[in-house]
Homo-oligomer: A and B are copies of this chain.
Amino acid sequence: MIRVLYPLRTYLIVSGGKKETNVMTADWVTIISRNPFIICVSIAPTRYTHKLIRKYEEFVISVPSMEMLKDVWIAGTESGPGKISRMKISFTPSKTVETPSISEALANLECKVIEAKDYGDHTLFVANVTNVTYKSDAFKGDRPNLRYKFIAHLALNEFTTFEEKVYTP
């Protein structure tokens, strides 16, 4: 019954370097520490991304908007770098890692692995975020701008986004 924690945000994980780049979709991402900025992502050992992260010890978390939903779907359901040619994304060099960032994404977090540990059917990668780039209007005033439709995953091929309404207690 993992679904009781859903909807969860959906992100893209870019792995590899300039010559072998892969992109997958991941819901199981969160923040561990604010200062220094440390995150974790859980990835199944069967994924091609898993091999590339093991090899390069770095990756990029890209934040897609609803406009990229078809790309999110391809990244999440097809295996290996061949899918890149069927996606409408373009890569741009990252600043602190060899893994490229995604130009169309709302944000890109450059990550360097500090620990990898297997739990159950997945590997938890813990990583320092060494650089962040983002579309400034999408995170104006240090808060997400809900006019940009951030994606959340419901189940299988069902996704949703947020109301633009802000609730205060």
Contacts and interface: CB of A to CB of B under 8 A. Distances in A.
Interface of A: 1-9, 11, 27-40, 42, 61, 63, 66, 69-70, 72-73, 106-107, 109, 114, 119-122, 124, 126, 132, 134, 139, 141-144, 146, 150-152, 154-155, 157-169
28 contacts: A2-B34, A4-B63, A4-B107, A4-B109, A4-B144, A5-B11, A5-B30, A5-B31, A6-B143, A6-B144, A7-B162, A8-B30, A28-B31, A30-B40, A32-B120, A35-B121, A36-B121, A37-B120, A38-B122, A69-B169, A72-B169, A73-B169, A124-B126, A143-B154, A158-B166, A159-B168, A160-B163, A160-B167
Contacts of A139: 1, 3-4
Nearest to A61: B5
A120 B6 contact: no
Interface centre among A30, A120, A169 (most CB of B within 10 A): A30
A26 to B, nearest CB: 10
Contact of A144 (B7, B66, B119, B146): B7
Nearest to A107: B4
Sorted nearest first, the 8 A-B pairs with minimum C-beta distance are A33-B120, A73-B169, A143-B155, A4-B107, A30-B30, A1-B132, A32-B42, A159-B167
